[in-house]
Each structure stands twice: as C-alpha cells, then as structure tokens.
C-alpha cells in the first residue's frame, strides 16, 4: 500500500483523521472492522456499501469490493448454511 501511495504521490486517511503516506496495518483493520458480509442461500452481499475510506484502501491494494462477496474469493459451500429455522440441535 505504501508503495502504491508513493508511486501515485497521494495520501490516505490515517490516525486522527489526518492524511498520511505511511498507513499502518492496524489502522487499516480498524477501517474494515465495520464491514458486514451477509451469507444467504443466494450468495454473499455486503450489509452496506463500502464507505469512501474503505473503497480507497481497497483500490490502493488493487482489490475489488467483490472480494467480500464473490464466491470464488471465499467460502461457497451452500450445504453448511443455516436453515431458515436456525441452527440444529
């Protein structure tokens, strides 16, 4: 991410809502902790769209928001989805 920021000569939101060219991995995780991925029988979806900071972090890492819901990017076994009545047992 730092290389990408250096190559483009840009900054990103860091601590105390200040722009930085040296973001930390901890700060990045704090921005993504609110991402909610919903798993349904129809597939995955985001609980709400990424905000502008999350989108910018993803773009700098050259990641599409689809990494959160595309079946090829993660878990796709529908057999382990909970039934609509809840967990068994």
pLDDT tens digits for range 1-40: 888 888 888 888 888 888 888 888 888 888 889 888 888 8
Residues in the chain: 89
Q: Residue 78 above 70 pLDDT?
A: no
**In the block, residue with structure tokens 């190559």:** 7
Given this model, what pLDDT does residue 65 score? Answer: 80
Side-chain-side CA neighbours of 56 within 13 Å: the count stands at 17
Of 12 and 77, more confident: 12
What secondary structure letter does DSSP report for 66? G
Give the C-alpha separation, 47 to 66, whole Å: 13
pLDDT interval class at 75 (50, 70, 90): very low
């Amino acid at each position: 991410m730092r290389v990408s920021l250096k190559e483009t000569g840009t900054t990103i939101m860091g601590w105390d809502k200040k722009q930085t060219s040296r973001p930390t991995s901890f700060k990045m995780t704090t921005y993504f902790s609110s991402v909610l991925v919903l798993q349904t029988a129809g597939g995955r979806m985001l609980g709400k769209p990424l905000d502008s900071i999350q989108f910018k972090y993803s773009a700098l890492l050259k990641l599409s928001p689809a990494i959160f819901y595309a079946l090829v990017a993660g878990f796709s076994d529908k057999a382990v989805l909970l039934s609509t009545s809840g967990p068994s047992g």
